[in-house]
A = this chain, B = another copy of it.
Amino acid sequence: MQIAPADAPSLTDHEDNTLSGRTTADLREAIIKGDIKAGEKLNEPSLAKQFKVSRGPLREAIRRLVAMGLVTHKPHQGATVVTLGLDSIMELYDVREALEGKAAALAAQNMSDEQIAHLKRVLEIHRRHHEDTAGEYLQAEGDFDFHYQVIQGCGNRMLADQLCNELYHLVRMFRYQTSRFKSRSQRALVEHEQLIYAIEQRDPQMAEMVMRHHIARAKQSIRNFLTSEEDHEQ
């Protein structure tokens, strides 16, 4: 069992060994980590040269990222990295609330005892880490690690794919963009604990409610942070 996976070899890297697959992963990480900035245009020849591939695989990679929601594409005008404004983030968190809420409910029904035990261990590791470092940065990735376990345990592959292959990367991108935004880790721990309790009780409604409140609070916290920041800058 490993906690927050070290670096780029993300949990969702069942990527293939083809150039197209590797390029997708590389380009995706470049965008998420901000090496290619938000709103920037993706120039095919230059990127192809940069990644040392032809334009064919690169274009396929771009198409996959479009499906992921990381870039937009207009015919004959090319692709540009999405800009995550406050509105988009709020929308994203509403979708997360709906999807992960349902995932929590299903997890309460379908998770094996072994999986629940594993979830407890993950929470314990996060708590230790929080105590040791006084609420450190890793919390961000670690937080998703917890959510990831719940999602994988829900038993609905379609739901899990939607969350992990598409929305997850948008969340990561947002977190890289506003890495200065922390806090909430103490509260998150408590809420995660509540969720485990609900799942352990095999109570889908309670699990869904807890998860939805958890995400709704995160959403509100982000809104407060971003709007106050706007005020400061203007």
Contacts and interface: CB of A to CB of B under 8 A. Distances in A.
A159 B94 contact: yes
A129 interface: no
How many chain copies does the complex carry? 2
A221 interface: no
Contacts of A76: 18
Contact of A156 (B59, B95, B162): B95
A13 interface: no
A13 to B, nearest CB: 13
B91 A102 contact: no
Interface string A44-80: 0000000000001001100110111100001110000
Given A98-B99, A101-B98, A158 B21 contact: no
Interface string A148-185: 00000000111101100000000000000000000000
A6 B18 CA distance: 33
B91 A95 contact: no
Nearest to A15: B75
Given A63-B67, A95-B158, 14 more contacts: A16-B74, A16-B75, A18-B75, A59-B60, A63-B64, A64-B67, A69-B158, A91-B158, A91-B159, A94-B102, A94-B156, A98-B101, A98-B102, A162-B162
A97 interface: yes
Contact of A159 (B21, B95, B159): B95
Interface centre among A21, A88, A95, A162 (most CB of B within 10 A): A95
A17 B77 CA distance: 13
Nearest to A17: B75
Interface centre among A16, A60, A67 (most CB of B within 10 A): A67
Nearest to A67: B67
Nearest to A208: B98
A27 to B, nearest CB: 14
Contacts of A60: 59-60, 63
Interface in A79-127: 88, 91-92, 94-95, 97-99, 101-102, 106
Contacts of A158: 69, 88, 91-92, 94-95
A166 to B, nearest CB: 8
